[in-house]
Amino acid sequence: GIKAVVAIAAAAVLIFNTAAILASARPEIEAANAAWLPGLRQHDAKSIAAPYADSGLFIAGNGTVTRGRDAVARMYEARFPKLRPIRGGIEQDGLTVLAPTRIIEWGRGWLEMEPERAGAPPVRSGGSYVTIWERQADGHWRIVRNMAF
């Protein structure tokens, strides 16, 4: 009946909008993920923190919360003196629209640092992450919550 046609039409619009929302966000999300490792290697905290909203949160695996883009940049700056040459990456496992202006991303990130002394094994760290992205008033997608596990 007509209710089924309306439901199908509504579902088609939702699917179209979801695809359009992902298409609008994906370039900024991919650019942020691609900039993470070079930012660490170049000790460029501003480029790593740039995707965060002004009030975005970074929640570390131990539960420590860093609030705001500037604080996230300072958090990374504090880590740089301890960094030795590194390899690493982000492996995104999923990206889903939660609302017209909110997307959830999840996956795994990892780093492998050269050992302090020759012959020692490299130091590897990393784990799962969940990131909430929101479209801001200026149209850009920004991280409002980034949780590392």
- φ/ψ of residue 77, rounded to 5: -55, -40
C-alpha pair distances (Å), 115 with each of 40, 118, 127, 139: 17, 7, 20, 43
- Among 81, 87, 88, 84, which residue's Cα sits nearest to residue 118? 84
Averaged pLDDT of the chain: 91
Q: What is the pLDDT of residues 112-127, one digit of tens each?
A: 988 888 889 988 888 9
Give the whole-angstrom CA distance, residue 43 versus residue 138.
Answer: 28
Q: What is the pLDDT of residues 30-87, one digit of tens each?
A: 999 999 999 999 999 999 999 999 999 999 999 999 999 999 999 999 999 988 889 9
For position 48, what pLDDT does the model report? Answer: 97
Give mean pLDDT, residues 1-18.
Answer: 68
Give mean pLDDT, residues 98-103.
Answer: 93
In the predicted structure, residue 9 carries a pLDDT above the cut 80: no
Give the whole-angstrom CA distance, residue 67 versus residue 78.
Answer: 15
For position 84, what pLDDT does the model report? Answer: 87
In the predicted structure, residue 24 carries a pLDDT above the cut 60: yes
pTM of structure:
0.85
**Band of the pLDDT at 13, cuts 50, 70, 90?**
low
In the predicted structure, residue 136 carries a pLDDT above the cut 60: yes
Query: Please, are residues 131 and 30 in contact by the beta-carbon 8 Å criterion?
Result: no
Q: What percent of the chain has pLDDT over 70?
A: 93
The DSSP symbol for 62 reads: T
